[in-house]
């Protein structure tokens, strides 16, 4: 499902001395089934933008359309259906664990969306495998697990509702490179199997180069630019002017070569290899 922002503004603490325009007249489409990265300096409006996708925030002006869901300031119809379609994974998803067993925790989402217990349990078994854990873990308390296992369980819990859109708000920030790669692989596997759209907020430019097919650059509540990773990274002057530093093109050579048409970066690969 396409995600369309039609002239969306978001104002925090409206009509107070602290009024803040966090989004200013945003017009942008996140294409269905894309892997879209949202980048921008701290405070540029990335989280405010993505929190409109599952209705955590509603626009002060304008509308957000997510498939058949229309969200405006006043019309907040059926947020439950929206949240079933859009899974939101925060930076420390393990903080959201609360049930007695891993299985109950993973089943919580599907049961909340009126799926039968048998199907919810089946989803729990499927998702625990997808996140790379053994089924033995299902009857254990989530609080006995290691930090990495807890995080995987929490992600399995979001994916068990089979969202069509997954919003990832810096999910790999505290992980080492291997942990990051494992986590991103998990999301791309889910994306392929479920034809899902992924929206990733990140500061990791290597992640953008490796996984995204569409990039939206935010600056001071506005869209500074959008395009493929190679289009965006080629604007290095503009990116550094807004405080972003893409990795040296040489370093990106191999990743781009795997993913993009070589013609887009002819000199890069000549020099980088
Ligand atoms: P980013 O995710 O790019 O770091 P945010 O969307 O969190 O940016 O913030 C955009 C702007 O809105 C920032 O200036 C931030 O200080 C402000 N802001 C964010 N959340 C709130 C809030 N709850 N109340 C007031 N201002 C906020």
pLDDT digits (tens, 9 = 90+) for 91-106: 888 998 999 999 999 9
Comparing 205 with 85, which gets the higher pLDDT?
85
pLDDT band at 134 (very low <50, low <70, confident <90, very high): very high
Q: Which long-range contacts (CB under 8 A, 24 or more apart) does 125-132 make?
A: 126/160, 127/156, 127/157, 127/159, 127/160, 128/102, 128/153, 128/156, 130/156, 130/159, 130/186, 130/189, 130/190, 131/155, 131/156, 131/159, 131/186, 132/182, 132/186
pTM of the model: 0.90
From 8, 13, 17, 20, the mutation candidate for ligand 1 (largest count of ligand atoms within 8 A of CB) is 20
Task: Give the residue, by CA position, lying nearest to ligand 1 atom 5.
Answer: 45
How many angstroms separate the alpha carbon of residue 201 from the centre of ligand 1? 14
Closest ligand 1 atom number to CA of residue 18? 25
Q: Quote the CA–CA distance of 141 and 101 in Å, as a whole number.
A: 4
How many angstroms separate the alpha carbon of residue 43 from the centre of ligand 1? 5
Residues lining ligand 1, Cβ inside 6 A: 12-13, 20, 22, 40, 42-48
User: Which of 15-29, 54-68, 165-179 is predicted with the least confidence, judged by mean pLDDT?
Assistant: 165-179
Q: Quote the CA–CA distance of 199 and 151 in Å, as a whole number.
A: 19
Task: Give the residue, by CA position, lying nearest to ligand 1 atom 17.
Answer: 22
How many angstroms separate the alpha carbon of residue 9 from the centre of ligand 1? 13
pLDDT band at 188 (very low <50, low <70, confident <90, very high): very high
What pLDDT, on the 0 to 100 scale, is given for residue 206?
84
What pLDDT, on the 0 to 100 scale, is given for residue 186?
92
CB 42 within 8 A of CB 205: no
Sheet arrangement for strand 214-219: 86-89, 165-169, 197-201, 35-40, 214-219, 222-227
**Sign of the CA dihedral running 244, 247, 250, 254:** negative
Half-sphere exposure of 62 (CA within 13 A, CB side): 20
Task: Give the residue, by CA position, lying nearest to ligand 1 atom 12.
Answer: 22
Comparing 125 with 180, which gets the higher pLDDT?
125
Closest ligand 1 atom number to CA of residue 23? 10
How many angstroms separate the alpha carbon of residue 45 from the centre of ligand 1? 6
Per-residue pLDDT reduced to its tens digit, 245-256: 776 655 555 555
Tell me the mean pLDDT in the region 70-94: 86
Q: Quote the CA–CA distance of 38 and 200 in Å, as a whole number.
A: 6
Tell me the mean pLDDT in the region 255-262: 55
How many angstroms separate the alpha carbon of residue 49 from the centre of ligand 1? 10
Closest ligand 1 atom number to CA of residue 44? 3
What pLDDT, on the 0 to 100 scale, is given for residue 270?
37
For 12, list phi and psi in degrees, rounded to 5.
-85, 145
How many angstroms separate the alpha carbon of residue 221 from the centre of ligand 1? 9
For 162, list phi and psi in degrees, rounded to 5.
50, 55
Per-residue pLDDT reduced to its tens digit, 194-223: 999 999 999 888 889 889 999 999 999 999
Q: Is the pLDDT of residue 268 over 50?
A: no
Task: Give the residue, by CA position, lying nearest to ligand 1 atom 27.
Answer: 12
What pLDDT, on the 0 to 100 scale, is given for residue 258?
55
Measured in whole angstroms, how far is the alpha carbon of residue 172 from the centre of its chain? 11
Tell me the mean pLDDT in the region 56-82: 88
pLDDT band at 118 (very low <50, low <70, confident <90, very high): very high
How many angstroms separate the alpha carbon of residue 6 from the centre of ligand 1? 20
Q: Which long-range contacts (CB under 8 A, 24 or more apart) does 115-120 make?
A: 120/160
What pLDDT, on the 0 to 100 scale, is given for residue 214?
96
Q: Quote the CA–CA distance of 252 and 233 in Å, as a whole number.
A: 10
Task: Give the residue, by CA position, lying nearest to ligand 1 atom 23.
Answer: 12
């Amino acid at each position: 499902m396409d995600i369309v922002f039609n002239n969306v503004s978001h104002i925090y603490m409206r009509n107070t001395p602290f009024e803040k325009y966090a989004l200013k007249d945003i017009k942008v489409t996140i294409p269905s089934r894309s892997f879209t990265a949202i980048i921008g300096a701290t405070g540029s409006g990335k989280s405010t933008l993505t929190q409109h996708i599952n209705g955590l925030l509603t626009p002060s002006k304008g509308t957000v359309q997510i498939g058949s869901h229309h969200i405006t300031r006043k019309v907040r119809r059926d947020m439950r259906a929206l949240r079933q379609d859009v899974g939101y994974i925060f930076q420390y998803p393990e903080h959201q664990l609360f049930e007695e067993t891993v299985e109950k925790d993973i089943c919580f989402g599907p049961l909340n969306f009126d799926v039968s217990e048998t199907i919810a349990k089946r989803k729990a078994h499927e998702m625990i495998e997808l996140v790379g854990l053994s089924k033995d873990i299902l009857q254990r308390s989530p609080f006995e697990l290691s930090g990495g296992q807890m995080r995987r369980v929490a992600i399995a819990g979001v994916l068990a509702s089979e969202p069509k859109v997954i919003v990832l708000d810096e999910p790999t920030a505290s992980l080492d490179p291997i942990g990051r790669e494992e986590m991103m692989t998990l999301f791309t596997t889910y994306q392929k199997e479920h034809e899902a759209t992924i929206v990733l907020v990140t500061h990791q430019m290597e992640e953008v180069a490796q996984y995204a097919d569409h990039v939206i650059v935010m600056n001071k509540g506005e869209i500074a630019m959008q395009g493929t990773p190679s289009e965006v990274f080629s604007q290095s002057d503009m990116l550094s002017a807004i405080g972003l530093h893409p990795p040296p093109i040489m370093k990106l050579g191999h990743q781009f070569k795997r993913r993009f048409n070589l013609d887009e970066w002819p000199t890069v690969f000549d020099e980088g290899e």
